[in-house]
Chains A and B, each alone.
Chain A
Amino acid sequence: KNEVEQSPQNLTAQEGEFITINCSYSVGISALHWLQQHPGGGIVSLFMLSSGKKKHGRLIATINIQEKHSSLHITASHPRDSAVYICAVMDSNYQLIWGAGTKLIIKP
């Protein structure tokens, strides 16, 4: 079993839909990251969370430490949101353990 599990693996939605990507982890963590990776490889950090909820524009990230679960939400999705979204947790050895990613496609 992977230490960081994401679901779904692939998600296709219509423009404007509300998107939810889930992340569950099994290790003790000091922080959880949500990252976005576009074709070609560039990775952008979206959020770093250790508790609660953060919002940035149309993106919202939540984390429940007790349940070891985090969600990334995208409101009013747009084709430019199409990318791979990756959940990564920083463990007690300061290493980022990565989920496999969720490939999101938003159709116009």
Chain B
Amino acid sequence: DAGVTQSPTHLIKTRGQQVTLRCSPISGHKSVSWYQQVLGQGPQFIFQYYEKEERGRGNFPDRFSARQFPNYSSELNVNALLLGDSALYLCASSSPRYGQLYNEQFFGPGTRLTVL
């Protein structure tokens, strides 16, 4: 069974541009979370989606948005890119069981975004 997949693996953009990152969760997983990891730092939570609804949002500006599709794949969009948006963007999927609000997260390989 395939793990979490992300595309593209690497991306170079210039300031002011817009970017869309994609994530496909493990089959059967209905929750997807997005994280930003700036070089040398730990990951920071951006969004969590469950059953196509936003469940949680981290402390990121409105330039960051996301959505989850009926097949549970997800897209992260970042508008008006800044140099500081250069980072590894990680997607994780999980499958919360009934009555359980959390479960183990499985991570994709990440998309490395460079903003010039």
Residues of A within 8 A of B (CB): 30-31, 33, 35, 41-45, 48, 86, 88, 90, 93-101
Interface size class of chain B, counting residues whose CB lies under 8 Å from the partner chain: 20 to 34
Interface contact B104-A48, CB-CB below 8 Å: yes
* 12 more A-B residue pairs beyond the given contacts A41-B88, A100-B42, with a C-beta to C-beta distance below 8 A: A30-B101, A42-B109, A43-B43, A43-B90, A43-B92, A48-B104, A93-B56, A94-B56, A95-B48, A96-B105, A97-B45, A100-B41
Number of A-B contacts (CB under 8 A): 55
- What is the bound-complex CA distance between A31 and B110, given in angstroms? 23
A45 contacts across to B, CB distance below 8 A? 104-107
A31 adjacent to B102 (CB under 8 Å)? yes
CB of B112 closer than 8 Å to a CB of A: yes
Look across to chain A and name the residue whose beta carbon is closest to the beta carbon of B55: A94
In the complex, are the beta carbons of B42 and A99 less than 8 A apart? Answer: yes
Contact call B43/A98, Cβ cutoff below 8 A: yes
Counting CB contacts under 8 A, is B44 at the interface?
Answer: yes
Inter-subunit contact A95/B45 (CB<8 Å):
yes
